[in-house]
């Protein structure tokens, strides 16, 4: 039996319009308990923002054994997707974040450059879809909605924060269990920086979101931070307002084809998949140490490059309470079932 997958030769809209039906698969129990942000989960396995383009995609992957599903990042207004290629395979080893560019390859061997531009439907559309999804999702699964502010050229930081908070409130009103704020969004104070790189600005945004979503768990999704000190500053600024941090979104760099030409007009794109595993586990470990030292009440989601039980265990050992899988799940929809099978076989109870 083969299971439906995202088709990267087709447009974003085509994939949005062709979500798979939910499936009836035998999913083994995860050995042990998983408690995350006050919820009891059947396992720490989840999917991050991106591959689950709408509610039906969320339900499909939930039926394939993922217990925490994240609805793709939504905005306060419609936004079109970038043109193809949206997913360009790249030929890389483990990345650190200081690479100037990476070469393309035709075959997908584990890592790709992701180029969507965070498209979104209008709020009326995603709100109805989120509400339907929460209704149909099993009670023991968690639905997280990822949100982002849509920076306008003349906006102040507070306007951007208000836009994030509006999306967060609309998500909660529609039934989201968790809200995730994607901080890989351009910062209004610096032209080339992203929000997670400016701790004080990030604090303004999370404080504003918190005021609009009450006690609903708030997750901050961040990109690559290459130094423990920077992680320290970020956590010190935002810990009173977030329940968890998810890392690492991707590692950004430029992408060059075999003819030496840059793709995407020479702009950087996030590399996702296997190549980000080591850097992201390292980063998760720094965050865990800082949280412990300072007794911050913040949990961690490990994301980036996980594709098997060993990767999941490495993230859990580095301090993650949940582990998200995007690229490997898009390649192999059965990945959560396989990981749970292996975990059950290796459990001392067996």
Ligand X SMILES: Cc1cc2nc3c(=O)[nH]c(=O)nc-3n(C[C@H](O)[C@H](O)[C@H](O)COP(=O)(O)O)c2cc1C
Note whether 195 and 185 are within 8 A (CB): yes
Q: Which of 43, 121, 187, 249 binds ligand X (CB under 6 A)?
A: 249
116 half-sphere exposure, CB direction, 13 A CA radius: 24
Site string for ligand X, 208-227 (x = CB under 6 A): -------------x------
Site string for ligand X, 171-210 (x = CB under 6 A): -----------x----------------------------
CA–CA distance, 336 with 245 (Å, rounded to integer): 22
Give whole-number Cα distances, 141 to 4, 35, 168, 325, in Å: 21, 12, 20, 16
Tokens of 244: 């968890």
Q: Which range touches ligand X (CB under 6 A), out of 25-33, 191-199, 286-294, 325-333?
A: 325-333
Q: Is 85 in the site for ligand X (CB under 6 A)?
A: no
- The number of angstroms, rounded, from the C-alpha of 146 to the middle of its chain's C-alpha atoms is 8
**Least distance (Å) from ligand X to the CB of residue 136?**
22
Tell how strand 142-147 and strand 178-182 pair up: parallel
**Least distance (Å) from ligand X to the CB of residue 123?**
16
| CB closer to ligand X, 154 vs 279 | 279
**Least distance (Å) from ligand X to the CB of residue 223?**
9
Of 41, 44, 54, 37, the closest CA to residue 245 belongs to: 37
Tell how strand 322-324 and strand 45-47 pair up: parallel
Q: By three-state DSSP, how is residue 300 classified?
A: strand
| Binders of ligand X in range 105-134 (CB under 6 A) | 114, 116, 118
| CB closer to ligand X, 3 vs 116 | 116
β-sheet bridge partners, residue 112: 89, 272
DSSP 8-class letter at 341: H
| Binders of ligand X in range 293-312 (CB under 6 A) | 303-306
**Least distance (Å) from ligand X to the CB of residue 305?**
5
Note whether 27 and 65 are within 8 A (CB): yes
DSSP 8-class letter at 297: -
| CB closer to ligand X, 206 vs 326 | 326
**Least distance (Å) from ligand X to the CB of residue 99?**
16
**Least distance (Å) from ligand X to the CB of residue 102?**
15
Q: Which of 72, 134, 141, 288 binds ligand X (CB under 6 A)?
A: 72
Q: By three-state DSSP, how is residue 39 classified?
A: strand
Give whole-number Cα distances, 242 to 213, 234, 275, 287, 310, in Å: 11, 11, 28, 14, 28
**Least distance (Å) from ligand X to the CB of residue 260?**
26
**Least distance (Å) from ligand X to the CB of residue 325?**
5
Q: How many residues sit close enough to ligand X to count as binding (CB under 6 A)?
A: 25
| CB closer to ligand X, 205 vs 328 | 328
- The number of angstroms, rounded, from the C-alpha of 14 to the middle of its chain's C-alpha atoms is 22
| CB closer to ligand X, 67 vs 348 | 67
CA–CA distance, 4 with 302 (Å, rounded to integer): 25
| Binders of ligand X in range 258-277 (CB under 6 A) | 272-273, 276
Note whether 304 and 280 are within 8 A (CB): yes
**Least distance (Å) from ligand X to the CB of residue 283?**
12
Chain residue at closest Cβ approach to ligand X: 50
| Binders of ligand X in range 30-59 (CB under 6 A) | 48-51
- Give contact residues for ligand X (rule: CB under 6 A): 48-51, 72-73, 114, 116, 118, 146, 182, 221, 249-250, 272-273, 276, 303-306, 325-328
């Amino acid at each position: 039996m083969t299971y439906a997958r995202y088709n990267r030769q087709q447009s974003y809209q085509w994939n949005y319009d062709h979500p798979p039906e939910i499936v009836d698969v035998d999913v083994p129990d995860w050995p042990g308990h998983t408690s995350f942000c006050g919820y009891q989960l059947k396992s720490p396995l989840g999917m991050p923002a991106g591959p689950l383009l709408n509610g039906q995609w969320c339900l499909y992957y939930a039926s394939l054994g993922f217990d925490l599903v994240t609805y793709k990042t939504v905005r306060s207004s419609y936004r079109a997707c970038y043109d193809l290629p949206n997913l360009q395979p790249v030929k890389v080893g483990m990345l650190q974040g200081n690479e100037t560019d990476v070469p393309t390859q035709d075959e997908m061997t584990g890592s790709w450059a992701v180029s969507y531009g965070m498209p979104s439907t209008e709020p009326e559309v995603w709100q109805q879809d989120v509400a339907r999804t929460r209704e149909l999702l099993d009670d023991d699964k968690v639905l997280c909605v990822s949100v982002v502010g849509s920076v306008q050229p003349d906006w102040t930081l507070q306007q951007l924060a208000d836009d994030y908070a509006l999306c967060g409130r609309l998500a909660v009103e529609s039934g989201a269990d968790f809200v995730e704020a994607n901080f890989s969004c351009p910062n209004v104070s610096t032209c080339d920086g992203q929000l997670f790189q400016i701790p004080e600005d990030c604090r303004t945004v999370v404080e504003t979101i918190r005021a609009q979503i009450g006690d609903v768990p708030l997750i901050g999704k961040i990109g690559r931070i290459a130094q423990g000190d920077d992680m320290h500053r970020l956590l010190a600024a935002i810990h009173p307002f977030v329940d968890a941090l998810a890392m690492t979104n991707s590692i950004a760099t430029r992408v060059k084809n075999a003819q030496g030409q840059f793709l995407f007009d020479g702009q950087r794109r996030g590399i996702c998949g296997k190549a980000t595993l080591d850097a992201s586990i390292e980063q998760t470990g720094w965050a865990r140490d800082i949280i412990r030292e300072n007794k911050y009440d913040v949990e961690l989601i490990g994301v980036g490059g996980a594709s098997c039980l060993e990767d999941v265990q490495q993230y859990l050992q580095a301090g993650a309470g949940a582990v998200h899988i995007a690229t490997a799940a898009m390649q192999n929809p059965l990945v959560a079932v396989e990981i749970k099978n292996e975990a059950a076989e290796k459990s001392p109870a067996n």
